[in-house]
Chain A
Amino acid sequence: MGSTQALQEIMKWNGWGYSDSRFFFNKKGQAEFTGKRYKLSGLIIPALKDWFESTFGASLQHKTPPILNSSAVHPPTLNETFVEELKSTGIPFSHDAEDRVFRAHGHCLHEIFALREGKFGRVPDMVIWPNCHNDVVKVVELASKHNVCLIPYGGGTSVSSALECPPEETRSIVSLDTSQMNHILWIDEKNLTAHVEAGIVGQDLERLLNESGYCTGHEPDSMEFSSLGGWVATRASGMKKNIYGNIEDLVVHIKMVTPRGVIEKSCQGPRMSTGPDIHHFIMGSEGTLGVVTEVTMKIRPMPEYQKYGSVVFPNFEQGVACLREVARQRCAPASIRLMDNEQFKFGHALKPQVSSIFTSFLDGLKKFYITKFKGFDPNRLCVATLLFEGDRERVLQHEKQVYDIAAKFGGLAAGEDNGQRGYMLTFVIAYLRDLGMDYYVIGESFETSVPWDRVLDICQNVKERIVRECKDKGVQFPPLSTCRVTQTYDAGACVYFYFAFNYRGLSDPVHVYEQVEHAAREEILANGGSLSHHHGVGKLRKEWMRETVSSVGLGMLKSVKDFVDPNNIFGNRNLL
């Protein structure tokens, strides 16, 4: 079988990421991160234990290791005639239990929690690995012919219950894994576009393009594992969208296979006035209409220079005001993110052990300068992390412009290290959730987008709502309820919330978790926030679709679904 099928071999089946990379508390009670893949790998993180214990009231004494049991998977329901005809096409497939379980879930808390407990609901009955667009056409034809339910699978990083098999589905469910369609088919240097198979994973796409001196610049936090097709299907957003744009700005052409046939545009013109853009039926369709097979994407020459940075603000209000001003002047760096005080402390707890006395002395000095000399309250200050990209001169110029604005809002430059560590946090935070789950702590993140004038209020109200709901639902320890502003736009911002709590003493922690998340989403909507900025709707948030897009809007989407897929072959039941 293909090379990246091996991804399954090196990844956890019941947690996030690579099997070799995980946090654990060593015999001395110090946290360590294993493996060699990340900057943090192989390092000791001395402050994490204290932060973990004091934030959650958790204790290393109370462990909840996962139960390893993959034998409880129901035998597959196979559609024999479909399987027969499929065999004749030579497209690889499997109904091995491990393969099926691996593709039965995304990374919502309840999904991972259930896996750790060894509980499996409905899982796909088989997995198919098409190798190219034509393979997909054949599979979709066969599925339509034999009335088999298809669920496209890319990187499996969904956090919207999008990959969950609908329990009411009685047909045979086939997971259509696009991971073998991972080639760059051509690069067009004259137009700066690349034509890529949709199964390619983010980090591979960047690596391969980098070899030719290019990049897409699309870097969602999940880019190590998420796929191009997944980005298109969920309307993904990348960290550096300020320079490169979000997925809708990046795609030039999409090819999708539907039960009605293949949908694509006839040319690659950069913009068209030909009625509603059919790409917008595809982007965000969440696997309900068909499988995206090939995408033409914009590419850019690799940036000459990259520089991280960070700014400390006396409080969150000032920080938001600064981000707003940066957006007003349209001078946002490739990435600008503002963490609140709790996240700032969290980031601090993740500092690896420093080897030299000198560095720790410097750190102490910095802290002294900010809290004592500048009078920042350590319990209120917050930090913005920055990433600049471009040619060296312009980066330096840009950097100055941004720091000047920050100064107007009381911001102090706080160095490159802090900035870089902030971004590293993005990649390891999902690993940290697995560590938490070993010790009765569960949590997750969710996001929204909101107009500028609502940013502060929504942050405050949602965080408070989480705390209040936890208390009401009997959570024994104060939860971690924190947020950050992760993207700026002309008319608003994207806000990310992190929420975690110690569930000791609760009989059904996942249910409590879901109730709190539900309440938090209600609060977001009541405060003028959107249902989702980039995670998508899936099945987790579809109850709010009607109020989000209006009944007419929902009807429009339904009528598209009815035309494209009248027999609900793409039956994951997301979105609608």
Chain B
Amino acid sequence: MASKAVYSHRDPMLKKRDDFEDILEERRNSSDLRYALKCYTPVVYKGISPCKADALTNMVLQSSHLHYVISQVSKETGRAVDDVQDEASAILEEMAQRLQLSTIRFFAFTLSKVFKTLFRSICVNEEGIQRLQQAIQEHPVVLLPSHRSYMDFLLMSYLLYTYDLALPVIAAGMDFMGMKFVGEMLRMSGAFFIRRSFGGDKLYWAVFSEYVKTMLKNGYAPVEFFLEGTRSRTSKSLTPKLGLLNIVMDPFFKGEVFDMSLVPVSISYERILEESLYAREMLGVPKPKESTSGLFKARKVLSQNYGSIHVYFGQPVSLRSLAEGRVNRSQFSLVPRHIPKRPSEEIQNFVNDSAYMLVRAQEENMVLKPWVLLASLLLQNHHQSQAPGQKPGMALDELTERVVWLRDLSRQYGAFLHWPDHRAPSDVVSSSLSLHPGLVKISEGRVQLALELAGGDVGPKESRSADTTPEEELLSRAVIVLSCASYRNQALHVFLRPALLALAIHAAASTKKQEVFYSFSFLRNMFSNEFILVPGATVQDFEEACYLLVKTGALQITQQEVLVTERGHRTIVFLTSMLDPFLQGYQVVCRFLCEEATEELTEKQFIPSIRRFIIKHLLAGRLRYTEVLSSDLQKNALAALLRLGAVQKLKGVDQGTLKVNTVMVNSLEDTLGGKLPTQKVVVARL
């Protein structure tokens, strides 16, 4: 394999990142009202053709693309053209944003108040802002923020307003529309609403895509959307959704714009507002439907401290340079450009790879707080100390020692860690812990997860009513564990590749490099719905993992062999423990499918049934990780099995029924458990 020199350019230690400025500082020292009424004169795209929101809808309705689809729909359904045309107008009406500066000013004022109460600081990399400003003038811009909270898009518009940048139009899910007043407010702050599913609806797709493209091409405003499609409930990045990315890239492929800047934005919250909401949702307590009153109930969140937010505007990516040598744009010369066409395989692959690349870029610039490392350590400790006779929790100084070790390790892996180096580590630890009183508690100098009933030595918390079932207890503990896990997950992308390698070494039949690679490649493939793993980059990921582990002295790699060093043991144990819950979780999913999946198991029933199955196992003590209760993990595992063909979704009469290939699922489970050599499975799959 390649020599060391090849790696040097991707040494994560060399990643250059910008500094942050706290924008709340100025808010605390000057009038919010004056700020909300300030003179706002953003720079715009040099090729802009200025138009009002109304003119925009007209342009969409008169586009040849829409005309074409309308007449097509009319022919297919026998409906009158006017009728279809009216439907198109109605769709557009329902969808369209009505960006108004006055609404933005209103939000600028109120959000200033809210942000100042909720957050200690909102930090922004101003160099990123400057780059963005440059990019906006040159080419149409697509803003791609990470999505962890409802706050994200208001926060984005707030920031752009603050920096006098062009306000974006934002693709938002239809669920917001349920909140009448809020929905309209959001619309007036630039949101446009898309139905969650419109699979076969040609007309809807045409209106939607034409609307987005028109705004983009004319330089009306930067277009903002979430690559992950929805808020990540786990704080892990979600595998990207490609629909909108396909749409925004289309004008470039068809030569309608010279280039386009794709700007990944990483928004990291020290504490997420929806933290326990997410955990409940994943445990099956249904998510409250977004309603205005619900939002007001959230007022109680206002009384808490949510730490700081870091927003990192990444390097704008030129779509043109991205597509250079990968996309042959002349493939669009043989059909009129307004006729919708399924993207070719070449285009699909390109869009998919770009999406992954952009999500990786988001991940890389996510700021990690010391708490994230603490949560990782406490979770591991929690699982290891479950054994009977163990004292729960960790001594504070032990925790401090471990977290300093982990700090250094994560930095070597290129983490964007915000660790206040000028303060004593013990200080950092205690102030980090104090921000999460609901998740951790310190008693008698020991730190542990705040699981009320765990370990028996319950604190002063009022005794639970006698009729609490063990199941309810389990779920309430699971809320805490899942919340903690969501913080650990923030750091997962840093450790992911080395951790997969650590697991692979563990699972491989021998220390032979080839076998370790097979094992790595199997695991990577297995988990590619769970984590952001760029398709087709197995070898690069393997090399990167090897490089990092060798560099930090945890591994020795010779021509033929991969060996864990004496001092590498600690690292390897940490890394494997990090992914162990996922490994176990996937095995449980397999076991469930083999043991319990009857002929009638439908996709709909999958989550409730597997949840029951897991609860049973957890209560019986056959399973260590409460985390496995996360519906996110269960869905991802199922998706992986579907992708690998171990489970099939039936079509036709039994639509949605899952057909399990027991032999294959069994062998996957055994391979995950290290009982079967991977090589065989890998080959079998190929």
Contacts and interface: CB of A to CB of B under 8 A. Distances in A.
B333 interface: yes
A525 interface: yes
Nearest to A467: B258
A460 B258 contact: yes
Interface in B285-344: 328-330, 332-333, 336-337
24 contacts: A453-B336, A453-B337, A454-B255, A454-B333, A454-B337, A457-B256, A458-B255, A460-B258, A461-B255, A461-B258, A464-B258, A525-B330, A526-B255, A526-B328, A526-B329, A526-B330, A527-B255, A527-B329, A527-B333, A528-B255, A528-B330, A528-B332, A528-B333, A547-B330
A298 interface: no
Interface string A449-475: 000011001101100110000000000
A465 B330 CA distance: 16
Interface in B217-259: 255-256, 258
Interface in A404-455: 453-454
A495 to B, nearest CB: 13
Classify chain B: how many residues form its interface, as a range. 10 to 19
B330 A457 contact: no
A461 B329 CA distance: 13
A68 to B, nearest CB: 43
Given A457-B256, A458-B255, A461-B255, 10 more contacts: A453-B336, A454-B255, A460-B258, A464-B258, A526-B255, A527-B329, A527-B333, A528-B255, A528-B330, A528-B332
A465 B256 CA distance: 14
Most buried by B among A454, A458, A525: A454
Interface string A536-576: 00000000000100000000000000000000000000000
Contacts of A454: 255, 333, 337
Contacts of A457: 255-256
Contacts of A458: 255
Nearest to B338: A453
Nearest to A464: B258
Contact of B258 (A465, A525, A528): A465
Contacts, number: 26
Nearest to A529: B333
A547 B330 CA distance: 10
A464 B337 CA distance: 21
| Nearest 8 A/B pairs, CB to CB | A528-B333, A526-B329, A527-B255, A457-B255, A464-B258, A461-B258, A525-B330, A526-B330
A457 B336 CA distance: 14
A463 to B, nearest CB: 9
Interface of A is mostly: helix
Contacts of A460: 258
B198 to A, nearest CB: 28
Most buried by B among A458, A465, A526, A547: A526
Contacts of B336: 453
A525 B332 CA distance: 10
A454 B256 CA distance: 8
A461 B258 CA distance: 5
Nearest to A526: B329
Contacts of A525: 330
Nearest to B255: A527
A526 B255 CA distance: 8
A457 B332 CA distance: 13
Contacts of B256: 457
A547 B334 CA distance: 13
Contacts of B332: 528
A464 B255 CA distance: 12
A530 to B, nearest CB: 9
A461 B337 CA distance: 16
B212 to A, nearest CB: 18
A460 to B, nearest CB: 7
Nearest to A548: B330
Interface in A271-294: none
Contacts of A528: 255, 330, 332-333
Interface in A486-512: none
Interface string B254-281: 0110100000000000000000000000
Interface in A512-541: 525-528
A528 B258 CA distance: 14
Nearest to A527: B255
Contacts of B333: 454, 527-528
Contacts of A526: 255, 328-330
A457 B329 CA distance: 13
Nearest to B337: A453
A431 B256 CA distance: 35
B129 to A, nearest CB: 24
A453 B65 CA distance: 13
Contacts of B328: 526
A453 to B, nearest CB: 7
Contacts of A527: 255, 329, 333
B293 to A, nearest CB: 50
Contacts of B330: 525-526, 528, 547
Interface string A196-217: 0000000000000000000000
Most buried by A among B255, B256, B333, B336: B255
Nearest to A460: B258
B468 to A, nearest CB: 67
Contacts of A461: 255, 258
A113 B365 CA distance: 50
Contacts of B255: 454, 457-458, 461, 526-528
A525 B336 CA distance: 15
Most buried by B among A458, A465, A525, A528: A528
A519 to B, nearest CB: 11
A318 B333 CA distance: 24
A533 to B, nearest CB: 15
Contacts of A465: 258
B134 to A, nearest CB: 15
Nearest to B47: A460
Contacts of A547: 330
A527 B331 CA distance: 9
B341 to A, nearest CB: 14
A525 B327 CA distance: 13
Nearest to B139: A464
A551 to B, nearest CB: 15
A453 B339 CA distance: 13
A458 B337 CA distance: 13
Most buried by A among B328, B329, B332, B336: B329
A458 B329 CA distance: 12
A457 B254 CA distance: 9
A469 to B, nearest CB: 12
A458 B336 CA distance: 15
Interface string A23-61: 000000000000000000000000000000000000000
Interface string B329-363: 11011001100000000000000000000000000
A54 B75 CA distance: 58
B343 to A, nearest CB: 16
A172 B649 CA distance: 72
A527 B336 CA distance: 12
Contacts of A453: 336-337
Nearest to B327: A526
Most buried by A among B256, B258, B329, B336: B258
